[in-house]
Each structure stands twice: as C-alpha cells, then as structure tokens.
Amino acid sequence: MTVECGDLVRDTYENRAPRLVVEVLSPSTTNIDRFRKLDEYRRHPSLAYILLVETRFPSAVLYRREEEGWTEESFETLDAVIDLPALGARLALTDIYEDVSFEPGRPVR
C-alpha cells in the first residue's frame, strides 16, 4: 500500500510521488521485504515514511526520512500510535490489527 499526496492521474496505476509505503510482512518473504525492498524504497526521493507491518504478532517498524538520513522506530504494543506529521496523520496499531488473530504462543501486549 502507498499513500500519495500529489495530483491524481487517472490513466495509470503507478504512484508518481508516494509519501508513505506500507509493506505487510509475509513469513515467506520477510527477508526480501526487510532488506531488498527496503533498500529500493529508501532510494525513492519522494518517500517520507516506510512502514513494515508484522503479521504474526503486533509489531511495526517505521523508517522516517530525516535530513541526515533514515531513522528507525519500533512499535510493539497494541496501544502504540505512529505519528506521521508529513502526512498530517496518526496511525494506531489497534486500527492496523483490527480483527486480526495472532499465532498462539506469543503474548499480545
């Protein structure tokens, strides 16, 4: 999923200036998502945020573009809220994980 704040172009499915990309991590592709795709996303000049969302337990990692480079912030409890000021938005983990069942054996905080 991406969030684009530019003008809508109706004749394409391509994002021209995405500000946020959300990658939902699949157990079978997590290494590709966390490394290769992340490196590709970081090179995109318009991106302000990259959010990696875990599927097996409540956890998200936000990469935020700063003047000096990318910073990383982890969110690991359902009451966590992710601030996205460049988009004028906040995203609660309870909203991300609404109606999601987690794998047994790992406590949900």
Give the pLDDT of residue 60.
96
Q: Is 16 exposed, middle or buried (0-12, 13-18, 19+ CB in 10 A)?
A: exposed
> In the chain, what are the domain boundaries?
2-96
Name 52's bridge partners. 23, 61
Q: Would you write out the chain's pLDDT as a tens digit for each of its 109 residues?
A: 444 445 555 655 555 678 999 999 988 888 888 889 999 999 999 999 999 999 888 999 999 999 999 999 999 999 999 999 999 999 999 999 999 888 776 666 6
Alpha helices in the chain (DSSP H): 30-31, 38-42, 93-96
37: nearest Cα among 46, 48, 50: 50
Give the pLDDT of residue 30.
85
25: nearest Cα among 67, 70, 61, 49: 61
Return d(Cα 50, Cα 54) in angstroms, integer. Answer: 13
Give the pLDDT of residue 32.
87
On whether the 2-96 domain is CATH 3.90.1570.10, my answer is yes
